[in-house]
Amino acid sequence: MTIFSAQTQAAINFAADLFRQAKHAVSLTGAGLSTPSGIPDFRSTGTGLWSRDEPLEVASLSIFRTAPERFFEWFRPLASQVYFASPNPAHTALAELEKAGRIKAIITQNIDMLHQKAGSKTVIEMHGTMQTLTCTQCYHKVEAAPYLDAFVKNGNIPLCPNCKQTLKPDVILFGEQLPQNAWFKAQREARQCDLMLVVGSSLEVLPVAGLPMQALDRGAHLIIVNNAQTYLNVRADVVISEDAAVIIPAIVEKVLNG
């Protein structure tokens, strides 16, 4: 059993009370939720992916179209980390919260499918997914697993089984629009919810970073669990700047079992 400071325990208790009172709670999750599972985030100083690489030079749509081998060279270590990752206690706790009817949807900026692996059912993937690949030429879509296995182990760039052109992971690169259907669903959840839980997101990437503001503008409560400051800390009901893999299970335990 984890022993928390009096301040942190009070924040956990208050967050649990807000969940028990909520009629339509949703969660917005970012890369900080998956770092305990061994997947690096993008913006942390020294360890984030963008502290080592310039995103427009390795992860943009234009680079993928003109030099896909450059993208795949950068992408292979990340794909390997995602491929072998397992959900951490925060993913599992959120799935339990959904199963209990205490949370209606998870809006995620992550592409790692760890929410689904943990058992979450209603997951809105704002930045795409690694579950499928799409051909850049004929738009044939395939399940990613067998291609990713060969790519991670041997570096084989995935090719379309129909036309032999390059298959692109269905993740959103710089220069691509968000999936329209996912964006509409996320906005609807933000506008309908009476409580939003933000976990592991620095709320720096628009337009997703604006979703909590949409919720606040309609009177929703806001809980933020994130190691770094966000622009909405001053507006949140609860802010806990500690490890999500420890804090989220503690909140969920309090919600479900008192």
The answer to whether 91 is a known catalytic residue is: no
Closest CA to 238 of 21, 39, 48: 21
In this structure, which amino acid lies at residue 119?
G
Radius of gyration for the chain, computed over Cα atoms and rounded to the nearest angstrom: 19
Distance between CA 221 and CA 207 in Å, rounded? 20
Put the strands of the sheet holding 221-225 in their side by side order: 123-125, 105-108, 25-29, 195-199, 221-225, 238-240
* Given the residues 91, 115, 127, 221, the one annotated as active site: 127
- List, by residue number, the catalytic residues: 127
